[in-house]
Amino acid sequence: MKNNQIWICLLGTTLVTGISTEAQSPSPSKKSIKHTKHKEVSMTTSAANKEVIHSLYEQGLNQRNRQVLTSLVSNEYIATSGKRGIDGFEESIVALLKAFPDAKWKIIDLISEDDKVVVRQSVHGTQTAQFQNIKATRKTIDTNAIVIYQLKDGNIISSHILTDRLGFLQQLGVLPVDLSTVAVKVKNELQVTFIDKFFVPKAAKDEFHQRVTINRNFIKTLPGFVKDIVYEHTDENGNLTCITMATWESQQALEHAKQTVQAEYTKEGFNPSEMLTRLGITMDRSIYQEVESN
């Protein structure tokens, strides 16, 4: 009998506890229900938008189905050129397909939230016609891009694309893979070299060398200076032929250096023309720019 009483007590406690717990459980608030419904709607919209973008790539772009494109692009769509609707959306695509008729799009990653879908895509194709200012290269590209689509009621109303333009141009051979060679070429095209050729009588060599040393030390401190080189030859009579070459980053840097040197001469009270005449030194001066062989 005692055992039966114990089981009854335990069973009663369980029932009471269960009833008590259920009675104390709070009912969901209206705010919580509203938030849940909004989340469910958002998830449904995101999933639907994903399907729209999948159809865009698989049927509209890769199968060249304009009817599908027309059904997916809103009349509200405005391209950067100002064109609206499907014409605005197709503008860049048509230009690309003329140059890369075998182009195929591939979705690498796709993320959807609320009214936006972000796609990381790749485009594979061979250039058989001119694209923008690039003549047909017959080369194949496989370039990546990030595209952000905005949708409304299941239609695309805007798109923003960020492409790997550098990789695109490198794959076409317009730019080299090693960009340092481009930087060097551009730099060399801007640089100018100031060349003086002097014929110096034997008796004037010491004073001439002193002046050349002063000038070389000074120009090295000026902005835009790249390097200087001096070549000399002494003939059988002891007369000197001297060529000085000073290279500057640009014509502008050279002009600034000329003005600064003249100001320094004035400050020193030095007259180069007077020295050349007094010592019987003749000079040939010119500005040169490097020419590369073809």
Q: Residue 54: is its pLDDT beyond 80? A: yes
Mean pLDDT of 265-294: 85
Cα–Cα distance measured from residue 94 to residue 89, given in angstroms and rounded to the nearest whole number: 9
Q: Do domains 38-176 and 186-288 have the same CATH topology?
A: no
Cα–Cα distance measured from residue 105 to residue 55, given in angstroms and rounded to the nearest whole number: 12
Q: Report the pLDDT value the prediction gives residue 9, as an integer from 0 to 100.
A: 35
Domain boundaries, the chain: 38-176, 186-288
Residue 176 confidence class, pLDDT cut points 50, 70, 90: confident
For the domain covering 186-288, report its CATH number: 3.30.70.100
Q: Residue 30: is its pLDDT beyond 70? A: no
User: Among 80-89, 145-154, 183-192, where is mean pLDDT lowest?
Assistant: 183-192
Q: Residue 193: is its pLDDT beyond 70? A: yes
Q: What is the pLDDT of residues 281-293, one digit of tens each?
A: 999 987 776 666 6
Architecture of domain 38-176: Roll (3.10)
Confirm whether pTM is higher than 0.85: no
Residue 179 confidence class, pLDDT cut points 50, 70, 90: confident
